[in-house]
Structure 1
Amino acid sequence: MTTISERNVRLAEAVRVREQGDAAEARRRLLALGERWPQDAEIAYQTAWAHDALGLEAEAVPFYERALTAASQRLTPGDRCEALLGLGSTYRVLGRYEDAERTLRTAVAEYPEHGALQAFLAMTLFNRGQYEESTRLLLELLAATSEDPTVRAFHRAIEMYAKDLDGTAG
């Protein structure tokens, strides 16, 4: 029987292997760990990530979903944020735009300062034909985060026009 400390060591090794660029080997190791701990949120999250790294988005979805709903163990806030981003992005890549929007809106509500979530939500809104909200989100993100001195010089105007894209308000 495998102990929790063995689980931790094996999980850390699998993550290290993925970080070193061998997503296929990491996937193999993570799938084996998942068989032993099928309700482990962290293992499911890391397995989803390995699938995404290999371009296996459809196979990643159930692992992301399991990671986000596992009752026996919760993800850290950072991992939860990244799992929501990964799931939303994966839904988007698969053309599941409604699922992507729902997931990413949840994520942005939980992590409003995470710029990448806002960017992925904006892309999803674009895919759904919600061009004005998509552009507004991107302009607000640009104004808030850009280090470009020319953007910084006009950040107030960009923020104002983000709220009124037609630019006709007096």
Structure 2
Amino acid sequence: MAAAIGLRDSGEPAAREEARRRLVALAARLPADAEVAYHTAWAHDVLEREAEAVPYYERALTAGAPALTEADRREAYLGLGSTYRVLGRYEDAERTLRAGVAAFPGHGGLRTFLGMALYNTGRHEESVRLLLDLLVRTSDDPTVRAFGRAITAYAEDLNRTV
């Protein structure tokens, strides 16, 4: 698996394709291995083969031993949610990203992609609220920080006027 990951990470298209082939074969031999499934999904994603990545991400998040590390689990939620969104499977994206945010509430990437999925599912106010909250919590921009309390208050009711 380490050799396939090295090929995938090389950035070379032919090497990435070889990594994908190796990982698909390994995943076929080890269908219950979450780590192999995760890396196989990722190998598909870097080649923009999102639809093929989905079953591997799903397996990675539900497979047994060995379980994913915490870092890989976070990235699997993000990868699967983002992939669902790219494929237009917005409700699946929202469900997956909500689960990821519930498991990892401090992960800004998961919250950002959830905000995009909420927009896609028509939950515009919740999307903007979530993204404004993330902006206030993570921005180093002094002008955003100066208005942080006001932004947070307005985010509570985006349609409020005086």
TM-score range (shorter-chain normalised) is over 0.9
Is the counterpart of residue 142 in structure 1 residue 135 in structure 2? yes
Aligned residues: 159
Instruction: State the distance in 2 between where 1:12 and 1:157 align.
Output: 49
User: 1:126 Cα deviation (Å)?
Assistant: 0.5
Return the offset for 1:32.
Answer: 2.0
CA positional deviation for 1:152 = 1.3
Give the drift of 1:166. 2.1
Name 1:45's counterpart in structure 2: 38
Residue identity over aligned pairs, in percent, reads 65
AA of the residue aligned to 2:153: M
Report the Cα offset of residue 14 of structure 1.
Answer: 1.3
Instruction: Return 117-126 or 154-163, whichever deviates more.
Output: 154-163
Gaps of 5+ in 1: 1-10
User: Does 2:15 align with 1:15?
Assistant: no
For 1:21 and 1:98, locate their aligned partners in 2 and report how far apart those are by CA, in whole Å: 32
Look up the equivalent residue of 2:108 and give its one-letter code. G
Cα offset, 1:134, TM superposition: 0.3
Instruction: Compute the TM-score of the two structures, normalised by the length of structure 2.
Output: 0.93
Does 2:159 correspond to 1:155? no
Counterpart pick for 1:107 among 82, 100, 117: 100
What amino acid sits opposite 2:106 in the alignment? E
| Of 24-33 and 48-57, the range deviating more from structure 2 | 24-33
Pair 1:128-2:118 in alignment: no
Amino acid of the structure 2 residue aligned with 1:104? L
The worse-fitting range, judged by mean Cα deviation, of 55-64 and 23-32 is: 23-32
